[in-house]
Structure 1
C-alpha cells in the first residue's frame, strides 16, 4: 500500500482521532466523498450543494456513528463500553509490546467473538 496510509494509521493510534487530518490529506481527491465532491466536477458542488434526497438536514441532525445500528457499527466490535474492561482499540494497542505469546493472542481474539 501506500506508505502514507501506514504512517497515518500509526499516527491515529498515537495521537488519537482528533489530531487526524481526515480524508483531505490522503491520496488526492479520490478518497474524498465518493466521486462527486471534487471541485472539478460540474458546478463544483460537493454533497453540500445537493439539496434533495433527505432535504437540508445539516450537520446538526447527523448523529454520526452513535445512532447507527446499535454499537456494532462502532470501531469494529471492540469499542463498546460493555466489553470487558471497556477496552477499545486504544487499550488493545497497549498490549503490542508486552509478553507476546501466540496462545495469548488466540485467547484474546476468541474472547471477542460474538456468540
Structure 2
C-alpha cells in the first residue's frame, strides 16, 4: 500500500478514535473490498488536507450502482456508525470473509477492542 493511502487511512482512524462504533465502521471501510470504500473521492469520504472523515448519512444515497453484496455491506457499515438503519438479515447476503469482518466490528463496537493498530 502506498504512503498516501496509508496516511489517508490513518487520518480516518484518528477522526474516529474514541468512538468505538465509528472506529469499527471505519475499519470495515478500510479492510473490506481492498479499502476502496474508504478512498478519497467517495462521496461519503471527506477531506480537508490533514483530516479525513466519513459522512455516514451519505452512503445510502450512493449505493445504487453497486453489487448487492457491496450495497449490503455499506448499509450495514453506515448503520453501525449511527447512519441509516439497515436490515440485519442482509448479513446472509455477504460472503463469509465479510461476515467475519462484520462480527469483529460488532465486537469492537461493543467494547472489545478487536482491531489492532497496524
TM-score, reference length from structure 1:
0.29
Structure with higher Rg: it is 1
Larger relative helix fraction: 2
Q: When you count strand as a share of all residues, which structure comes out higher?
A: 2
TM-score of the superposition, structure 2-length normalised? 0.29
